[in-house]
Structure 1
Amino acid sequence: MGKKGFAAVVDAFWDEASDVFAFLASEFGLNGPERSNLVIPAITYTGGGVRYEVMLDTREKNVDTSVNVALETETLDAPLEALVAAAGLGARNHVTSKAATLSGLRHTLELHAQYMRLLMPYMTPEKVVDLMRAADAREWTGS
């Protein structure tokens, strides 16, 4: 008998997320996916000073996707929903994050991947910092 409930979501997360976001590597030449489970399950793709992270929040049973941009003296970090709104691609609440069930996880990952694909034209060195600032990205300084 297979696992039920949220345990099935946790077990499936890495493979499901890696499959759905594979276009970041195949179409845009990013490195990844890199899997981690330091605090929560996550996959990351990196390239050109930009880090794309998809995380499974096991407490809230949500998927959180964010973009992190390393600058010379600071790092900017913004959630997907803020980037979508800042780029004019939709309202923040259009980016749902529910992942309490396997079908919910799959739906959310597909939605996040669709929005990420739409955001890729903004992820150029010429545009990404302006988008991050428009999204009120958190700024981190220091080493």
Structure 2
Amino acid sequence: MVIKVSTARSFEPEVTRAFRFLVAEHALTGPSSTGPTQVFYTGPEVAYTITFDPAGHTVTTSVARDVGAVRLTADLPALVVSAALGHPAMVPCTARTLLEMRAAILTQAHYVRRLQPYLTPLNVVPLMRAAHAQELRSA
């Protein structure tokens, strides 16, 4: 008898395990979610959104950083390149199976951990702009 584990049901627990360092080491709040396909971690100036797209079978992580009245948001692979941490292909997104999802989430968490020191007030604006971040002004 083969038991197939749903990737959608496994998404949040896998993210919670892999990204727990954000709470333990960086005092972010989370995990929180608005549904079964997005998990958020937030702090006073930074937020991480990990998203599972069941139709496209992908997992993606985006980073948002508040700088004054501007929120800069960029995707993790672009930030990995901007910080000279590697090539975007080193950040897997494919999640067709539970094993692929787990590998993508663990690798993305690894790069988020490595990226943390670069998100300082001195470095964050050039880093985010080099990653082609979206810039939104608060009202």
For normalisation by structure 1, the TM-score amounts to 0.89
Alignment of 1:1-143 (within 5 A): 4=4, 8-37=6-35, 41-143=37-139
Deviates more, 1:68-77 or 1:57-66: 68-77
Residue identity opposite 1:35 in structure 2: S
Distance across 1 between alignment mates of 2:26 and 2:137: 28
Superposition deviation, residue 66 in structure 1 = 0.5
Residue identity opposite 1:120 in structure 2: Q
Residue identity opposite 1:67 in structure 2: V
Q: 1:130 to 1:59 in 2, by over 3 A?
A: same
Distance across 1 between alignment mates of 2:20 and 2:105: 12
Kindly report the root-mean-square deviation, in angstroms, between the aligned alpha carbons of the 2 structures. 1.8
> Aligned residue pairs: how many?
139
Residue identity opposite 1:4 in structure 2: K
Residue 49 of structure 2 aligns to a residue whose secondary structure is strand
Q: 1:33 to 1:76 in 2, by over 3 A?
A: same
Where structure 1 has 5 or more consecutive residues not aligned to the other structure, the ranges are: none
Residue 63 of structure 2 aligns to a residue whose secondary structure is strand
Distance across 1 between alignment mates of 2:51 and 2:135: 20
Identity %: 37
Superposition deviation, residue 142 in structure 1 = 4.9
